[in-house]
């Protein structure tokens, strides 16, 4: 996802003073998960975000139509509502969950948040308006980034979300999506958090792809930092979200073979941020995953591959399952 805008102001990488002790803790949690990438270490990054990479140059806040190359690639505000409220979905409700099967995740509720919306570019004024994210005001949403060939992040996130939903439902989980291509735009970042809260989700995950510079490669998982201000209070979810993030990151490495980000997280693939409404307003364990960098040719080749996206969904599913089975 491109993190210039709403919930994605670019964080500035820095080393955490807790890195050494956390390295030992993570090594015990995900033994061998990083394959050839060494010991997995948790790190507290400067900012946090509703999907935030180091460089959000690929994000667009205004209505720019997707590139014509998109088809060739593989693979709220009206005068009657308060200025800070999110728009209602086109269907009048968030994407409904489907009947859960019997399995190890029976009784568990997972909310999947596919970042952005393929139609956001048609609603510039709506997605650019500000909503309250607890600590401050940010834009409702962004269009997201895209590959250099024009394939949009919003289509990537929906595809992975569908694959992930199928995998989780086969294990008995009840799965809800914040949007399923059934809305004219959004939802806004505050509503995305609210959907997970109202579902009383056991875990929530927001799916994105980054829009950083060429040469910046790999995935990273964004976890909420401690925030207690305004409507935001993450104190109860910081610890479980960190556990969720470590499980997802370890499984993602193992299943996809992708390395953690080489430009954020000090090689751990774990970043903590406190500026993202989707995390700040959550009352349930939640993380964001940036599956790769759409603006890097090597990463883009993976992100536009259906077989790789299935691996990505499997890795996320395995991480969620490990967390929910604890």
The DSSP bridge pattern shows strands 137-139 and 220-224 to be unpaired
What is the dihedral angle through the alpha carbons of 123, 179, 160, 44, rounded to the nearest 10 degrees?
Answer: 90
3-state secondary structure of 198: helix
SS (H, E, C) 18-87: CHHHHHHHHHHHCCCCCHHHCCCCCCCCCCECCCCCCCCCCCCCCCCCCCHHHHHCCCCCCCCCCCCCCC
Q: Which helix (H) or strand (E) holds 12?
A: none
Query: Do residues 120 and 186 touch, judged by C-beta distance below 8 A?
Result: yes
What is the dihedral angle through the alpha carbons of 138, 142, 148, 152, rounded to the nearest 10 degrees?
Answer: 150
Residues marked active site are found at: 290
Query: Do residues 140 and 131 touch, judged by C-beta distance below 8 A?
Result: yes
Q: Which helix (H) or strand (E) holds 203?
A: strand 203-210
C-alpha angle 319-323-326 in degrees, rounded to nearest 5: 140
Structure tokens given for 298: 């090597």
Cα dihedral sign for 281, 282, 286, 291? negative
* Burial call 113-127: b when 16+ CB within 10 Å, e when fewer: bbbbbbbbbebbebb
Euclidean distance between CA atoms 288 and 6, whole angstroms: 14
Tell me which DSSP letter residue 260 carries.
B
């Amino acid at each position: 996802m491109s993190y210039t805008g709403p919930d994605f102001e670019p964080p500035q990488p820095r080393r955490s003073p807790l890195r050494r002790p956390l390295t030992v803790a993570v090594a015990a949690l995900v033994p061998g998960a990083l394959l050839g990438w060494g010991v997995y270490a948790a790190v507290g990054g400067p900012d946090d975000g509703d999907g935030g990479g180091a460089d959000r140059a690929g994000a667009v806040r205004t209505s720019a139509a997707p590139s014509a190359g998109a088809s060739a690639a593989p693979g709220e505000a009206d005068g009657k509502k308060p200025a800070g409220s999110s728009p209602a979905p086109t269907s009048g409700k968030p994407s409904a969950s489907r009947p859960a099967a019997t399995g190890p995740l029976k009784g568990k509720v997972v909310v999947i948040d596919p970042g952005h919306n393929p139609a956001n570019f048609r609603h510039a004024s709506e997605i650019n308006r500000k909503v309250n994210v607890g600590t401050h005001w940010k834009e409702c949403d962004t269009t997201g980034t895209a590959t250099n060939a024009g394939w949009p992040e919003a289509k990537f996130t929906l595809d992975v979300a569908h694959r992930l939903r199928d995998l989780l439902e086969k294990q008995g989980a009840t799965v809800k999506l914040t949007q399923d291509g059934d809305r004219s735009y959004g939802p806004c970042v505050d509503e995305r958090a609210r959907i997970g809260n109202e579902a009383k989700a056991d875990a929530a995950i927001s799916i994105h792809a980054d829009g950083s510079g060429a040469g910046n490669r790999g995935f990273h998982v964004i976890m909420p930092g401690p925030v207690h201000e305004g409507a935001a209070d993450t104190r109860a979810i910081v610890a479980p979200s960190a556990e969720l993030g470590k499980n997802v990151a370890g499984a993602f490495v193992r299943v996809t073979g992708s390395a953690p980000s080489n430009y954020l997280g000090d090689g751990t693939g774990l970043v903590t941020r406190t500026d993202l409404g989707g995390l700040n307003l959550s009352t349930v364990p939640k993380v964001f995953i940036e599956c790769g960098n759409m603006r890097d040719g090597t990463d883009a080749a993976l992100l536009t591959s259906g077989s790789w996206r299935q691996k990505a969904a499997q890795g996320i599913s395995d991480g969620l399952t490990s967390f929910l089975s604890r």
